[in-house]
Amino acid sequence: MKLGVFDSGIGGEAIARALRTTFPSAQIETVSDREHVPYGDKSPAEVRNLTETALQPLLVAGDCHVIILACNTATAVAIEYLRDKYPSQKFIGVEPMIKPAAAHTKSGVVAVCATPATLASQRYKQLVQTYGPTLEIIEPDCKEWAYLIENSLINRAHIDTIIENALQHEADVIVLGCTHYHWIKEMIEEIVAGRAAILEPSEAIGQRVKYLLRQIAE
């Protein structure tokens, strides 16, 4: 079995690492587009073009059972385009976990840490309308996080300020809506110190891959 994992930068490596644990015998190939990272401040047309171009090594080879778009921004604006253009290829995307957050929260306040492009996307708006109409959703300013993480420039005090502000607004769930942010999940957990749940989609992606593989086998 071969799985392809794409992200604009190093965020995909976090997803690939989780998949290697779930599927130890699988061949997992990662591709990225670090030349153009981050995607979160680009237009939808730019993101679609950059994503499709970066995916060409996987698409041309045509031997991936599933390609995972380990990028919330690319998923939000490009995955339906890719599914239409490459109907024989199975794609899985990642998106902010609004549904699980709605089920988990007790305060009714959820913080969604994501890029501007993800927050502005129609898919994100649909998720909020479907699963979070009664929630108070805080959207902290995280637009610099992907760049800082990609370039090993992350500042603990900067993250601390943003997370503490969300907690002061009674958020009891923090959604990591960008796979770059997985690299600072432990830092965020230390800051939160049990005061909120941290949600990210690594485990859910593995379950979705298993589901698609069963469909292929049938």
Residues tagged active-site = 71, 178
How far is Cα 176 from Cα 155, in angstroms, rounded to an integer?
Answer: 17
